[in-house]
């Protein structure tokens, strides 16, 4: 796994061994970043259920101002910190070891972009999507990766689904805070 482009282009990223972390495939990652390429500059990013941190690191590499990486696993937090050092991006990042409910309920920060990729069958989607509404800036984007067997609602508070990107059995649903109908 590598950073696709930007200041950390082609840097190799570490991931955890085993099946506990399921990194986003390079094909899906490329498509997601193509869809938001003009929105990254100077943005504040949240990588929730960060795993190895690859989505937030890619965003930083492409010009995001800052990123918060949140994961409940100590091993994941250690790998994220290692990957940030490898990419020389630690100064733009904050890594938080916390479960998503505590982080979202207590966060005072507002984000422009959120990458959301929870464990597929743990049942987190409804709760986390409802809670995300409180930490997104108006016009903020949530990119939620999920299997096609998980059906998400069109709206969660002010978050409105504007587009789905399909990759075989994987879908990335794009939501916009404030629900701008013109967003595609």
User: Do residues 75 and 107 lie in contact, with contact meaning Cβ atoms separated by under 8 Å?
Assistant: no
Alpha-carbon span 149 to 101, nearest angstrom: 24
Confidence at 67, pLDDT banded by 50, 70, 90: very high
pTM, to two decimals:
0.92
**What domains are there in the chain, each with its CATH number?**
26-177 (3.40.50.150)
Confidence at 10, pLDDT banded by 50, 70, 90: confident
Q: What pLDDT score was predicted for residue 123?
A: 85
53 backbone dihedrals φ, ψ, rounded to 5°: 85, 10
Q: What pLDDT score was predicted for residue 95?
A: 98
Q: What is the mean pLDDT of residues 171-182?
A: 81
Q: Which residue has the tokens 């590499």?
A: 61
Q: Is residue 18 over pLDDT 80?
A: no
Strand pairing class (93-97; 111-116): unpaired
Question: Three-class SS of residue 94?
Answer: strand
Q: Is residue 152 over pLDDT 80?
A: yes
């Amino acid at each position: 796994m590598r950073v696709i482009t930007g200041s950390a282009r082609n840097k190799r990223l570490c991931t955890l061994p085993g099946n506990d972390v399921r990194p986003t495939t390079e094909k899906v990652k490329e498509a997601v970043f193509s869809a938001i390429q003009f929105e990254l500059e100077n943005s504040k990013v949240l990588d929730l259920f960060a795993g190895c941190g690859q989505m937030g690191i890619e965003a930083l590499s492409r010009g995001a101002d800052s990123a918060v990486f949140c994961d409940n696993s100590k091993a994941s937090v250690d790998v994220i910190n290692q990957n940030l050092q490898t990419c020389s991006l630690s100064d733009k990042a904050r890594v938080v070891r916390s479960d998503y409910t505590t982080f979202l309920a207590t966060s005072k920060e507002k984000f422009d972009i959120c990458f959301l990729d929870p464990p597929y069958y743990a049942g987190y989607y409804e709760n986390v999507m409802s809670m995300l509404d409180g930490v997104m800036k108006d016009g903020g984007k949530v990119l939620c990766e999920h299997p096609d067997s998980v059906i998400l609602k069109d709206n969660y508070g002010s978050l409105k689904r504007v587009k789905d990107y399909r990759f075989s059995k994987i879908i990335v649903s794009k939501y916009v805070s404030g629900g701008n109908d013109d967003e595609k």
